[in-house]
C-alpha cells in the first residue's frame, strides 16, 4: 500500500509545520511546563491550524475527537526513551510503546505518520542498537499499511558537557546519522539544526526525502524565527517544534508566524511581526 495518501495529509501544501506535544513519555518534568492542560493546548493549536500535531496514543483522542475535516493531521510517536534527563542513568534504553504491534494505535487513531528516535549518545552503543532494532521492526509494517515513517536522528553531546544530553550540532555527525536514517527507509527525517545553518543543505542532500527541523529546548523566539528562515533557505521542508511553541506566552501566534515563514516565504522579521500582532 502506498504511503502517499497519508503523506499528502502532512504535506498538502508542499511543506509542513508539525507541533510536537508528545513530551509526556520523556519523563522529564521541565518538558511538561505548558502542557498541564492537554485539552486546552490541543484546542489552542487546532484553532491556530498548523499542518500537524505530534502526540502519543494516550492523548491522541483529544485531537481526533475534534469534529470536521479541517484540523491538523496526527503524527504519532510510537517509541519512548530515557536520554532526556539531566542525570546519566545506569541503563539507557529506547523501546517501542507497543512491541507486539507497534502500529496498531496509529492505525486506530487514523494517524498520518509515525515517528521513531535514532539516538546516538557517546559511550551508549546498546541504546543505538535498540533504536536500530526499533526502526527495523516498524519499517515493514509501515510499508504494509501505507504509513509514512519519520525517523528522528539525534546526535547528542556527553551528559557531563551541559548537565544533560544536549544537541551536538556538528554537521558531519548529523549528516552521517541522517544518511543512516535514509538507508533504513525514512520517508521523512526530523533532524537537528547544524550549528552553522548554512551547512544544513548537506543534511537535506543526505536525506533524499523531506527534512523537518527539530526544535529542541526553548530559545529566544526572535532568534528561533531568524534561524528557521535560514534553515528553510537551505532546503528544509518545515519544522517540528514543541517547547519553542507551547512554552511561549501565545502559542497560537507562534504557529501563525511559523506557518507564514514555512508556507509563504516570510522572513524571520515578518514572522516576528505576525507574532507580535497576536
Domain boundaries defined on the chain:
4-277
Q: 84 falls in which pLDDT band (50, 70, 90)?
A: confident
Query: How confident is the model at residue 252, as a pLDDT?
Result: 97
Q: 163 falls in which pLDDT band (50, 70, 90)?
A: low
The class of domain 4-277 in CATH terms is alpha beta
Instruction: Judge whether residue 217 has pLDDT over 90.
Output: no
Q: What is the mean pLDDT of residues 1-29?
A: 91
Query: How confident is the model at residue 1, as a pLDDT?
Result: 64
Query: How confident is the model at residue 165, as a pLDDT?
Result: 64
- CA distances to 40, 104, 136, 183, 228 from 240, rounded to whole Å, are 20, 23, 23, 22, 11
Query: How confident is the model at residue 234, as a pLDDT?
Result: 98
- Three cell numbers written together for 12: 498538502
Instruction: Judge whether residue 26 has pLDDT over 80.
Output: yes
Residue 181 CA to residue 93 CA, distance in Å, equals: 19
Phi-psi region of 49 (alpha: psi -120 to 50; beta: other; left: phi over 0): left
pLDDT tens-digit map of 173-192: 999 999 999 999 999 999 99
Residues 6+ apart with CB under 8 A from 227: 193, 197, 268
Specify the range with the lowest mean pLDDT, choosing from 100-114, 138-152, 156-170: 156-170
Query: How confident is the model at residue 161, as a pLDDT?
Result: 63
Angle between helices 251-264 and 38-48 (to 10 degrees): 40
Amino acid at each position: 500500500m502506498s504511503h502517499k495518501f497519508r503523506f499528502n495529509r502532512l504535506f498538502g501544501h508542499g511543506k509542513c509545520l508539525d507541533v510536537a506535544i508528545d513530551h509526556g513519555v520523556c519523563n522529564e518534568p521541565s518538558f511538561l511546563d505548558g502542557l498541564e492542560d492537554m485539552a486546552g493546548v490541543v484546542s489552542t493549536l487546532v484553532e491556530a491550524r498548523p499542518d500537524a500535531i505530534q502526540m502519543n496514543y494516550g492523548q491522541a483522542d483529544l485531537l481526533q475527537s475534534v469534529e470536521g475535516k479541517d484540523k491538523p493531521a496526527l503524527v504519532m510517536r510510537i517509541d519512548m526513551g530515557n536520554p532526556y534527563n539531566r542525570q546519566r542513568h545506569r541503563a539507557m534504553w529506547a523501546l517501542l510503546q507497543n512491541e507486539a504491534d507497534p502500529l496498531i494505535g496509529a492505525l486506530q487513531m487514523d494517524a498520518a505518520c509515525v515517528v521513531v528516535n535514532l539516538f546516538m549518545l557517546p559511550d551508549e552503543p546498546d541504546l543505538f542498537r535498540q533504536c536500530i532494532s526499533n526502526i527495523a521492526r516498524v519499517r515493514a509494517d509501515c510499508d504494509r499499511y501505507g504509513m509514512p515513517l519519520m525517523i528522528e536522528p539525534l546526535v547528542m553531546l556527553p551528559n557531563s558537557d551541559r548537565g544533560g544530553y544536549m544537541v551536538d550540532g556538528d554537521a558531519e555527525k548529523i549528516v552521517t546519522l541522517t544518511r543512516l536514517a535514509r538507508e533504513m527507509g525514512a520517508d521523512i527525517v526530523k533532524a537537528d539544526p547544524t550549528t552553522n545553518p548554512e551547512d544544513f543543505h548537506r543534511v537535506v542532500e543526505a536525506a533524499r526525502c523531506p527534512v523537518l527541523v527539530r526544535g529542541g529546548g526553548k530559545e529566544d523566539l526572535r532568534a528561533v524565527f531568524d534561524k528557521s528562515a535560514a534553515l528553510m533557505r537551505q532546503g528544509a521542508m518545515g519544522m517540528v517544534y514543541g517547547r519553542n511553541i507551547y512554552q511561549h506566552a501565545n502559542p497560537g501566534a507562534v504557529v501563525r508566524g511559523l506557518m507564514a515563514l514555512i508556507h509563504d516565504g516570510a522572513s524571520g522579521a515578518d514572522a516576528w511581526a505576525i507574532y507580535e500582532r497576536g
